[in-house]
Each structure stands twice: as C-alpha cells, then as structure tokens.
Structure 1
Amino acid sequence: MRKENQNVVLLDCGDMFTKSKKPSELRAKTIARSMDLMKYDAVNLADEEVNMGLSFFTETATEFHMPMVSANVKFKKETDRKLLKTIIVKSLSGLKVGITGVTPEVFFKGDVSDKNNLIIDQDIHKALTSSVAEMKKEGADFTIALTHMSNEAARNFLQLNDVPGLSLAIGGHGRFLSPDAVKIKETYFVQNSASGEHLGVIKVRFNDKNVPVSLAYNDVTLSMDLPEEPKIAQIVKNFDLESIKIEEESRKTEDKVKEAEALKKVLDLKPEEFVKKMKGKEGQTVPLD
C-alpha cells in the first residue's frame, strides 16, 4: 500500500487484544509487535486494550511504541498519561491529518480490568468536538474520528450531533462492512469489519488548497491468497510454536492439580469409607499392594 501511494495513514478503531483467546498475553504482544512493524499511525483505546490489566497494557504499549489515542478516555496515573494522546496530527507532504478516537463508557463496564484507573468522559459529543477543534487549531486539513461503536450507534451519533470540522468517522466494534462511504451531514462515515479480516481502504483527493474534493472506500479481504510479508510471517510462526509450549505446560499443570485433588480425596477418607471405595464391581476387594 505504501509503495503504491505517497501519503498513507494506517489506523485501528481498537479492541486489538482479546482476553478470551488463549494464550491472551502472548497473543496481545504478538499483535502489538506486528503492528509496530507495520508502523500504525494511530489506534483508538477500547475496552479490550485494558482488559488484561493496566500494567500489562502500559508495558506492552511502551515496548512496542503503540500510538494510542482517545478524546474521552484518560489514565488516572500521571505516569501513564504519556501513553495515551487526545489527538495525533500527521504531516504528509504539506497536508496535515488529525486523528482522535472515542469509546463510550458502557464498553468499560462488566469484567473490564482496572477500569477504576481510567477517567472516562461520558459526554463523547463534547469530548469529540473539543478534540476536533484542537486538531483544527494545530492546522489539520482533514480530521478523523476512530469510533468504537456499532455501525448503527455511530450513524445515529452523527445524525443527532453536530461535530464542526469532522471530516471522517470510521466505525469499529462490529462485522458490518460498508459497501461505500456515506455522508452524514458534513462527515463521511465508513464501517470496517472486526478481527483483522478486512482492510478498509479510504482514498481522499484534495485540491491545491488542501480541501478534500472526493472520498472513495473499498474493502480488501485479508485472505490466504495475499503474499506473505516475511517478518510478519516469522512473528506468527514464533507465536504458534510458543503457544504449543504454553498449552503443554498448562496441560501438565492441570494434570498435577487433578492428581493432587484425587489423592487428597483418598487420604481424607475414613478407613471404612476407603475400603468401600476400593470395592470392585462384583463386591470384591481390589488388591492394595
């Protein structure tokens, strides 16, 4: 993509990590390592990023230079705040692109780890409007909001709220694929799929005054037919090998726990209960030697 196009920004709406898919920490670090290699420009902070604990996230974000962004979520600890920016402004051959993100508070409820270490602005309209104004103040010609909502929720938000200066909203958290970009009021909107199954490609053309004159969207299915990138392929291979080791160690540990529990049950039996347990199917005592 970068070889064929001069000005490219690579973005993600969040939920890169998945606690439910084991081994979760190794998987998360593998994804972060791959994204660092692909040089992502901005990633919206969603609930799954902090679902394995804030300490794990901050360690991983620091190690792999994750460009996290959010208009409405902040970390309580001052030392962690440098890892999460309100906006990111990229300069591309005389053009400035501003990027921010929003994730509604409802996604940080339930079993989300370390949610007490987050400051979440419930008024995402106010937070987004403020961030767009900040991007414009820094000279952004084109502004993007990475939204962690469903397709319907994101569309409704844009229809019910005016966000002056917002050029494009990209929807995450869902498997709906936009057949094309739609314009809601003054903002373009597209929705991409989840789980890295598709790459949404948005092409924007500008006139000589850096004013966008057209926007087109198409979807690229990330199938096995695409050529492998050698470094990414090696990262995935290492993940597969390490996953097997972790699974084997986990199985051994589980077996030891089961053996210990079974032995404890036997040792806790009274003599008459033990003899009864050792009776054969036909009432014969099983030899104890």
Structure 2
Amino acid sequence: MKRRDFIEKTAASTALLSLGLSMSSFTSADVKHITILHTNDVHSHIDPFPADDPRNANMGGVSRRAALIDVIRKENPNVLLLDAGDIFQGTPYFNYYGGELEFKLMSMMKYDASTIGNHDFDNGVEGLYAQMPHAKFEFISSNYDFKNTVMDGLVKPYKIFNKDGIKIGVFGLGIQLDGLVDKLMYKETIFNDPVETAHDMVRILKKEQKCDLVICLSHLGYKYRDEPNKMCDLKLAEQTQDIDLIIGGHTHTFLDKPTIVKNKAGEDVLVNQVGCYGINLGRIDFYLNNDKTKSSQGKSIIV
C-alpha cells in the first residue's frame, strides 16, 4: 500500500472512531453508505496552477479532479457530485468560451447538480441561458425567481435523488444580487428571503416527500466578520431545522472538515466549504441504518 493511501485510510478510520463508531459498525448490509462530493467557486480554473505559483503550485485542475472522482465512484457507486456556484469567471477560458467549456467538462465528470452564484451572471442572464444546452446536470435555485427572464423553466427549486433506496433532497440558495451584481446582468430575477425559502423547501422535502437526507447548496457565504448580521451558512443552519448538510460557496472559505452547528431543534447540521479554484474536493460520507438513524464523516481532499 502506498504511503499516501495508508495515511488517508488511517485518517478515515480515526474520524470514524472519534464519532464513537468502529469500522465494523459499517460492515452490515443493513447500513447504506452515501458519498457526497462537492466543489464551489471553481471560477473557470480548468488547468492546474503552475509549478511556480507562490500559493497553489501544482494544485487543482479538471483532469486531476475527474480522476479523483472516478476513484471514489469505484469505491462507492452511491455518489452525488454537487457544486455550490460561481462556476464562471476567473480565467481566459471564460472570456473566450463564455462558460461553454466549464459546463461541458462538468457534464463529462457527471455532476448531478449545481446552484447559481453571483458570478454566473457575469455575461448576463442571457449569457447564462446561452450556455445551458451544454450542461447535462440540474441547476437548482430555490430563492431566485426567474419567471420574467429567459431562464424561466430551466432552473428547479429542488431535486430528489435516489441512491440505494435513500431519498436525498437537494435545494439551492443564492445571495442577494442587488448591490453585488449589475441590475442589467440579472434583469428581472427576483431574490427571495433565504431562511423563509429554506423553511418551505424543508417542509416539502422532509415532511411531504419523506427524504432521508436534505442538502442545501448555498452561495450565501460561510460567515461575515465585518457584517455579523448578514445572512450566511452558519446563521442559516442555526435558524432552520431538518437540513443535514449545507454545502457552501461565495466566501472562498477553506475548511479541512465540516463545521458542526446546532439547528433550532438542537440537532447537528454539517456546514462545509472547500475554498475555491478547484484546489480541493469536499467529501462527506453518510451512513444510514434501517431505522434511518445517521452518522457521518467529512474531509477536504487536496486535488
């Protein structure tokens, strides 16, 4: 066994034990194992950083991410691959292709869904619309109302995935566009309150659709030290319930592992974000028993 593989396997075992669980706890056929892989704020970074980059030398790159995802899918076929927005803007690839390359590559990697970030409006709502035929994955945004734009009907408020008999409900939340994005870019897109929207989505996904896992793809930001009252992922977790995982974006926050937050019902919510530019791939593993009790572990994997 290679040294790196040994270290990763040992670290994973340690994480399980820290939750009071042994590896044997997950050998039963009655336990369902779901793996969530995720990215955020990739910002059109297709190539790895060059060897002489002062901060991220030889890190990232779509081909490396694709290879890593393929290895994980061979370990566990029950994988969801998600993105928390800001796919566009950041390299000449976007300036030249307008997002076509990004969507095509994500489709080749078999992303399941993405939410929409503020920079995904950088070529206007029409520019986003023009690239939609290249995306073979779902766009999910629950609090952006596109009814008076060309994007009407192309974005879903939520999506339910079924993996090994486990129902996984995914919804998306975008940041307030006013003051952040030129009005000419997002046109008549309406922003609705994220917390109120989350309550509605959770009611549908958990109460009505009986989802076993509920995931929020958020582009609200992890937290804001200079704006303590601004809505963010940590506040969203505290003010809602029945969300199992918030996958975040926007603030380019690097977390080695998910933050655990108590929701309004006193239950644990995982909040994770893996920085930016495709440098890391987030991995969250959920283990569900027959009675649908859950345990989880998570980490950030360097690409």
| TM-score, length of structure 1 as denominator length | 0.69
Residues 113 and 140 in structure 2, CA contact (< 8 A), matched pair in contact too = yes
- Is the partner of 2:254 in helix, strand or coil? coil
Give the distance between the partners of 1:64 and 1:207, measured in 2 at CA.
34
Q: Give 1:22 deviation, angstroms.
A: 5.6
Task: Give the 3 Å change call, closer, same or farther, for CA 9–15 of structure 1 in structure 2.
Answer: same
- Is the partner of 1:133 in helix, strand or coil? helix
1:5 equivalent to 2:76? Answer yes
Per-residue CA deviation, residues 253-287 of structure 1 (Å, 9 max, x unaligned), is: xxxxxxxxxxxxxxxxxxxxxxxxxxxxxxxxxxx
Task: Give the 3 Å change call, closer, same or farther, for CA 52–25 of structure 1 in structure 2.
Answer: farther
Residues 151 and 171 in structure 1, CA contact (< 8 A), matched pair in contact too = yes
- Is the partner of 2:223 in helix, strand or coil? helix
Q: Give 1:127 deviation, angstroms.
A: 0.6
Give the distance between the partners of 1:174 and 1:17, measured in 2 at CA.
15
1:182 equivalent to 2:252? Answer no
Residues 19 and 48 in structure 1, CA contact (< 8 A), matched pair in contact too = no
Q: 1:184 is aligned with what amino acid?
A: V
1:86 maps to which residue? 157
Task: Give the 3 Å change call, closer, same or farther, for CA 91–118 of structure 1 in structure 2.
Answer: same
**Equivalent of residue 282 in structure 2, options 177, 200, 208:** 200
1:216 maps to which residue? 297
Task: Give the 3 Å change call, closer, same or farther, for CA 107–217 of structure 1 in structure 2.
Answer: farther
**Equivalent of residue 167 in structure 1, options 235, 244, 259:** 244
2:171 maps to which residue? 100
Give the distance between the partners of 2:158 and 2:118, measured in 1 at CA.
19
Give the distance between the partners of 2:248 and 2:85, measured in 1 at CA.
10
Per-residue CA deviation, residues 145-171 of structure 1 (Å, 9 max, x unaligned), is: 11113322535413651x121111112
- Point out the structure with max Rg over C-alpha: 1
Residues 19 and 52 in structure 1, CA contact (< 8 A), matched pair in contact too = no
Task: Give the 3 Å change call, closer, same or farther, for CA 113–193 of structure 1 in structure 2.
Answer: farther
1:132 maps to which residue? 202
- Is the partner of 1:18 in helix, strand or coil? coil
Give the distance between the partners of 1:74 and 1:188, measured in 2 at CA.
27
**Equivalent of residue 29 in structure 1, options 100, 104, 107:** 100
Which structure would you say has the larger RCO, counting Cα contacts within 8 Å and 6 or more residues apart? 2
Greater share of helix residues, 1 or 2? 1
Residues 98 and 144 in structure 1, CA contact (< 8 A), matched pair in contact too = yes
Residues 148 and 171 in structure 1, CA contact (< 8 A), matched pair in contact too = yes
Unaligned runs of 5+ in 2: 1-71, 225-231
1:158 equivalent to 2:239? Answer no
- Is the partner of 1:2 in helix, strand or coil? helix
Task: Give the 3 Å change call, closer, same or farther, for CA 101–20 of structure 1 in structure 2.
Answer: same
Task: Give the 3 Å change call, closer, same or farther, for CA 180–37 of structure 1 in structure 2.
Answer: same
Report runs of 4+ in structure 1 exceeding 6 Å deviation.
Answer: none
34-43 or 166-175, which moves further after superposition?
166-175
| TM-score, length of structure 2 as denominator length | 0.66
